[in-house]
Amino acid sequence: MDEIAVLRVLHVAGAVLLLGNVTVTGVWAAYLYRARHRVPFQQVARAILWTDLIFTVGGGTLLTISGILLALRRGYPVAGTPWLLRGIAALGTATVLWLAVLLPAQLQMERADDDEALRRAYRRWSMVGWAATVMLYYGLWAMAGRGGA
């Protein structure tokens, strides 16, 4: 079995899980937020937390581990490979935003007891979340679109 091929498949699967989840979650959360007077948004926030734990963390972990192994197996010098550095920086930035801003906002949305608290937490989550999503797509572009191997 070709180890590099397996690692590539795992790397792409991790990227699909991560990018797919953050994109789809952002879209359906926006739709359900607008219906928050008919749909209990605390349950939506709980679903966001669970899908993040399963797909965002799972996909990001798969992406990171397979990416490290691919770089090692192929002998890429990380510091001397600009597209690799840009991809790592994009993933790192998005991860820091998720840990520092998005995760706390998700917890606040789940626990919000009035519409104003929910609105503030959702606005912060949505704005920073879309910025982090753009960073992830930039990372994809850096890794696969412009000279990535």
Quote the CA–CA distance of 139 and 123 in Å, as a whole number. Answer: 24
Collapse the DSSP code of 77 into the 3-class scheme (helix H, G, I; strand E, B; otherwise coil) and give the result: coil
pLDDT tier for residue 149 given thresholds of 50, 70 and 90 = low
Note the pLDDT tens digit of each residue in 14-36. Answer: 999 999 999 999 999 999 999 99
Quick count: other Cβ atoms within 10 Å of Cβ 138?
18
Per-domain residue ranges for the chain?
3-145
Overall average pLDDT of the 9-18 stretch = 97
Please tell me the pTM assigned to this model.
0.92
pLDDT at 102: 97
Residues above pLDDT 90, as percent of the chain: 93
- The burial class, CB within 10 Å (0-12 / 13-18 / 19+), for 41 is buried
Q: What are the backbone dihedrals phi and psi of residue 10, each rounded to the nearest 5 degrees, phi first? A: -65, -40
In this model, does residue 141 exceed pLDDT 90?
yes
pLDDT at 33: 96
Quote the CA–CA distance of 111 and 85 in Å, as a whole number. Answer: 38
Quote the CA–CA distance of 94 and 133 in Å, as a whole number. Answer: 7
